Each structure stands twice: as structure tokens, then as C-alpha cells.
Amino acid sequence: MSYSGSCIPSNPDISGIGVRTAIYAQNLLSFGPAIFAILDKKVTPIELDALEQQSTTILITAFAILLSAIVQACSLGLSNFHATIILNLSWINNTNTFIYFLLYAHHRAGLRLQQADRVREGDTFILGGVDVEQQSKIDTIWSEVKKASRNVVLFIGSLHLSLMAAVGIWLWSRPATFGGSRPCSKSASVFILSQRVSLASEGLRRWSLLVYSVVLTPVLNLIIPVLCFIALFLVYYYMHPTPSAYGRSVAPVACGFVVLATINTVLVIDTELAIGKNTPGLLDQGDMVWTFGQTLAILLLLVPIRDISMIMMERQPKRLGKKLLNAAKRGELEMVKDLLDQGAYADAKGEV
């Protein structure tokens, strides 16, 4: 990191306009496949696999950004101001963990409903030999939590939160000297909910240390947000006690998407305000310079575009599969043959 006449030098390969644009667009586009997946109120295994690949790719990219920041802070130096930008971008990237979790939870609810429908005996549901009417809700939730803890996306998302928290604690333990920052950098400001806060604020330092300490421990750092989303599902369950209404509704998932999109929007606004509103002459404007690294970052947009295409390609065979199932039930063999020729799933029952 070479210093210019400004107090805080530019760092376009970490917080340049190309990098920021790529991350903003990538995370905005990531909602597309998720929304397409729930349009028919079901999340199929194929859709969940595509969304798992999407979230994993974005989280690996998020790891790369954090690791680049750590390496630069230890070698060339990294300003405290740019470290706060990195943390904002990391929070944005990590919302993909919870986009996937919402769809995973909806998928699991749908599977439990399918199993219950297939083994209904009178008014009693049996799942894995256990009478659901006698099984406590706490045991059911706990079994799902244990299964979720072994999920690849949730595991990677948890590790990313921990690494991000470690960087946050490192920064806010001694923000004035982080990464070789100049003393004058304390005059810079960050924005929280569009409100300007000085980097020298002791209150901001203490609050940041508290937040990052809470999310430092792997697995445990997912508990609070996951419990919030589970509460959302449970509230809807008690408002709609009919199992079929609960299992097939996308209302809790849609509400979760709105919450995550709102968080992303707030973080984007705060990040852009921090870059645009700091005193002229304090912050070097070199982040506007287009670099090789920023060009590579823009190429990341091909990933969510690919995922949206995969989901869209998945929907046509899925719709045909429903027609196939109905035709098979009616014994219309010619229509069954035509639908199979058009690309309908042979195992259409698995899509219901």
C-alpha cells in the first residue's frame, strides 16, 4: 500500500467501484433463483442443489476477499477505513447463507408433509415409526437442527462469519493503528443506518467488539439468526395450524427474503455513503480507477446468471412432470409418451 497525499490511500482491488458493483449485483441476483424456486410453493432437490452451488460459490468468493484483506494488512498495510468497507461487504455476502437456509427449511417442511401424507393412517401421522401427534415439537425441531448442522452451505457460512468476526475484533481492538493506518485516519467516518459515526468513536468501538465477539464462535454464530427464522415459521404455523397450509405456504420464506433484502440494501447505502461522504482530501479517490482485479470481480456476475438459467431450465420439465403424473393417473398412454418426449421427468411423483 503506497501513500498518496491523502490521509487514506485508495485500494481499488479491495473496495474499488468494480469490486463493489460486482458484490452488490451478485448478491442482488442471488435472490432470483431463490424466488424462482418457490414460485410453485415447492423446493425440489434439483433446485436446492443449484442453490447450494450458488451460495457456496459466493461464500468462497467472500472468503477470498477476507483473506486478501488479512494478507494486505499484514504485508503492504490496509487502512482502518477500508477494513470497515471489507466488513460491510462480508456481511452482504453472508446473507447468502440465510437465503439458502430459508429454502432448505421450506424443503424440509415439504418432505415431512409428503411423508405424513403417504403414511396417513386415519387421523394419525407416522414419521419414521414415531407418532407425530405424540412426538414433542421440541424433539422435531431439534432433529432438524442436527440435520442442518451437517449442511455444507451452513457450515461454510458459519466459518465465514467466524473469520469475519476475527477481522472485526482485530480492527476494533486498536482501530487507530490497524494495518499501518495513519493517525489522521481517525477523522474518517463510517455510516450506520445512514447515520455518520466517527472511526474514533469509543461507543462504536465497544459496540463493534461486542457484535463480533458474539459471532466469533463457529456454529454458535448461526444460532441467533436461525432461531429468528424458525420463530417466523412457527408463528405462521400457529396462525395456520392445518399441516398442508403450513407445509406448502411460502409466506415465511418470502418474509425472510424481504428481511435479508432490506439488510443488504441498508449495508449498500451505508457503504456508498462512507465512500462518498468523507471529507475531500481525507480519502483518496483512486477507488474509481478501473484495475485488473476489478475486471475479474465483474466476471463473478456470470455465476448468478448461470444459476438463474439453471433454475429456469429446471422449471419446464417440472411443469411437464405434473402433467405427466396426471396423464398417468388417467391412463392416457399417448399423452404420457408425448410428455416424456418433451422432457418431462419420468419420476414426476418426486416433484409433488
Q: Give the residue extent of every domain in the chain.
A: 12-300, 316-352
pLDDT digits (tens, 9 = 90+) for 13-64: 888 888 888 899 888 888 988 888 888 777 877 778 878 888 888 898 899 8
End-to-end CA distance of the chain: 56
Strand partners of residue 196 = 191
Residues in the chain: 352
Instruction: Please list the helix, strand and coil fractions of the chain in percent, rounded to the nearest 5, in that order.
Output: 75, 5, 20
CA atoms of 173 and 73, how far apart (whole Å): 14
Rounded alpha-carbon distances, angstroms, from residue 50 to 16, 30, 155, 160: 30, 11, 17, 20
Which own/partner contact pairs does 231-234 have at CB distance under 8 Å and 24+ positions apart? 232/256, 233/105, 233/109
Alpha helices in 282-301 (DSSP H): 292-299
CA atoms of 167 and 82, how far apart (whole Å): 12
Q: Which of 118-132, 226-240, 297-311 has the lowest mean pLDDT?
A: 118-132
Percent of the chain having pLDDT more than 90?
Answer: 30
CA atoms of 329 and 349, how far apart (whole Å): 11
Q: Which of 101-110, 238-247, 317-326 has the lowest mean pLDDT?
A: 238-247
pLDDT digits (tens, 9 = 90+) for 213-255: 999 999 889 888 888 877 777 777 666 655 444 445 688 888 8
